[in-house]
Structure 1
Amino acid sequence: MKQRVGIIGVGAIGHPLATHLLHEGYSVTICPHRNYAPIEQLKRQGAHSVSNPAEVAAHSDIVLILVPDAPQVEDVCFGEQGLAVRSTREHALTVVVMSTIAPTAVQSIGERLQDLGIRVLDAPVSGGPARAATGDLTIMVGGEADVLAPHWETLRVLGSHIIHLGPLGHGAIAKVANNMIIGTLMPVLAEVLTLATKMGADVEKVREAIATSSGSNYLLEKWLPQTILQDQYEGGFALDLMLKDLQIALSTARALDVPAFATSLSAQLFTQAHGLGYGQKDYSAVSLLYQNAAQITIATGRARHRDQIITRNQKGPLL
Structure 2
Amino acid sequence: MKIGMIGLGAMGFPIARCLLKAGYDLYVFDVMKDKLDEISREGAHPCAGAGEVSACVSVAFCSLPNASIVESVLEEVFAQSGLSLDVWVDLSSISPESAKKFAKKAAGCGFAYMDCPVSGGVRAAADGTLTIMAGGAAETLEKVRPALEAIGKKIYHVGDVGSGSGMKMVNNFMLGCNMAAAAEALVLGSKIGLDLETMYEIVRNSSGRSFIIENKIPDFIQKRKFSGGFAVDLAYKDLGLAMETAKQFSMPVHMGSTALQMFETARAKGFGKEDITALLKITEELMDVEVR
Other structure's SS at 1:88 match: coil
Does 1:16 find its partner at 2:14? yes
Which protein shows a greater Rg? 1
Shift of residue 86, structure 1, vs aligned partner: 4.8
Equivalent residue for 1:175, pick from 168, 175, 178 = 168
Structure 1: stretches of 5+ with no match in the other structure: 300-319
The residue aligned with 1:5 is 3
Distance 2:29 2:211 in 1: 34
* Structure 2 residue 258 is matched with structure 1 residue 258: no
Helix, strand or coil for the counterpart of 1:227?
Answer: helix
RMSD: 1.1
Equivalent residue number for residue 142 of structure 1: 135
Alpha-carbon deviation of 1:229? 2.5
Cα deviation for residue 10 of structure 1 reads: 0.9
Alignment of 1:58-137 (within 5 A): 58-78=55-75, 82-89=76-83, 91-137=84-130
* Inter-partner Cα distance in structure 1 for 2:202 and 2:127: 28
Q: Kindly tell me the number of residue pairs found equivalent between the two proteins.
A: 292
The CA distance in 2 between the partners of 1:206 and 1:48, in whole Å, is 47
Q: Contact 2:195–2:291 at 8 Å: present in 1 too?
A: no
C-alpha distance 170-241 of structure 1, shift in aligned 2 (>3 A):
same
Letter in 2 for 1:144: A
1:57 aligned to 2:77? no
Q: Distance in 2 between matches of 1:269 and 1:24?
A: 40
**Could you say what secondary structure the match of 1:213 adopts?**
coil
- Is the CA contact (8 Å cut-off) linking 2:57 and 2:85 kept in structure 1? no
The aligned amino acid for 1:251 is E
Higher RCO (C-alpha 8 Å, min separation 6):
2
Deviation at 1:217, TM superposition (A): 1.3
Cα shift at 1:92: 4.5
> What is the TM-score normalised by the length of structure 1?
0.89
1:158 to 139, 151, 156: 151
Residue aligning to 2:202: 209
SS of the aligned residue for 1:87 comes to coil
Residue 223 (1) aligns with residue 220 (2): no
Identity of aligned residues (%): 33
Distance in 2 (alpha carbons) for counterparts of 1:58 and 1:238: 32
The alignment's TM-score, normalised by the length of structure 2, stands at: 0.97
CA displacement, residues 48-83 of structure 1 (integer Å, 9 cap, x when unaligned): 1111111100111111111100110010001xxx11
Instruction: Write the deviation string for residues 196-228 of structure 1: whole angstroms up to 9, x where unpaired.
Output: 111111231122112111111121112122212
CA–CA distance in structure 2, aligned partners of residues 99 and 276 of structure 1: 26
> Deviating runs (4+, > 2 A) in structure 1?
none
- State yes or no: 1:30 paired with 2:28: yes
Give me the whole-angstrom Cα distance separating, in 2, the residues matched to 1:65 and 1:202. Answer: 42
Trace 1:235-254 onto structure 2 (pairs within 5 A): 235-254=228-247
**Contact 1:68-1:241 at 8 Å conserved across structures:** yes
| Distance in 1 between residues matched to 2:30 and 2:174, nearest whole Å | 32
Deviations 1:268-306 (A, max 9, x none): 11011101100010011011111110111102xxxxxxx
